[in-house]
Amino acid sequence: MKHRKYRLQWKKFVGRLLCWILGIPINVIPIVFSHITGNTQDILSNIGDFLLLIISDLNFSFISVSVVFVLLLEGFFADEDTPPIYRQVQMVSAICFVGALVVYCVFALVPGFYSSIDLHTRKKFNLWLVALTLVLGIISNYLYSCEKVRQDT
């Protein structure tokens, strides 16, 4: 019985992970601009409340949905050298994507439902989504960055 061995390509892993993680704050920029009003002194004096508004925003939830979708797309471009468990992680990503998309659509399409939820509860929900997205992203990038070690027989 042959055992396949895989080696992590650190440069590929770190480069992909940095690009991927930078995508999350870039996606927050439109949310920040939507909450900025004419008086920036109020924002600067109460930065904690401003950050709470940003993190509890409904559009903040969509960041996780879109980033997990990108993870799914990467799976279509994976070659045969990726570890077999990568496909299983892709299935978990697909389930998370569908679940997050359904929840986002319910929040977006049912008038007043999202706004009826407490601000801190919305923040916790969005932070859990981001944490789930980061865990899936790190695992996916790790597995995607592994290459099969060629063994001569």
pLDDT digits (tens, 9 = 90+) for 103-112: 999 999 998 9
Q: Pick from 15, 12, 24: which is nearest to 82 by CA?
A: 12
Most confidently modeled of 15-19, 22-26, 121-125, 143-147?
Answer: 121-125
Which range, of 35-44, 46-55, 97-106, averages the lowest pLDDT? Answer: 35-44
Is the pLDDT at 44 greater than 80? The verdict is: no
Q: What is the pLDDT of residue 128?
A: 94
Q: Which pLDDT band holds residue 80 (cuts at 50, 70, 90)?
A: confident
Task: Give me the mean pLDDT over the 75-86 stretch.
Answer: 81
Domain that holds residue 32: 6-148
Tell me the C-alpha to C-alpha distance, in Å, between residue 59 and each of 35, 108, 143: 12, 9, 29
In a domain, 153, yes or no: no
Report the share of the chain in percent with pLDDT over 90: 25
d(CA 147, CA 85): 13
Distance CA 63, CA 71 (A): 12
Cβ atoms within 10 Å, residue 151: 9
pLDDT at 30: 87
Give this prediction's pTM: 0.82
Residue 42: pLDDT over 70:
no
Domains identified in the chain, total number: 1
Asked, for residue 104, whether it belongs to a domain, the answer is: yes
Would you say residue 25 lies in a domain?
A: yes
**Does residue 89 fall inside a structural domain?**
yes
Q: For 20-24, which contacts have Cβ atoms below 8 Å and span 24 or more sequence positions?
A: 20/67, 20/70, 20/137, 20/141, 21/134, 21/137, 23/67, 23/70, 24/63, 24/67, 24/130, 24/133
- Rounded to an integer, the average pLDDT of 128-139 is 91
Neighbours of 6 (CB within 10 A): 17
**Distance (Å, rounded) from C-alpha 75 to C-alpha 144?**
8
- Does 62 fall in a domain? yes
Q: Does residue 39 register a pLDDT over 70?
A: no
pLDDT score of 102: 94
Q: According to DSSP H, which parts of the chain are helical?
A: 10-35, 40-45, 47-55, 58-76, 85-109, 119-144
Contact 140, 93 (CB under 8 A): yes
Q: Is 1 contained in some domain? A: no
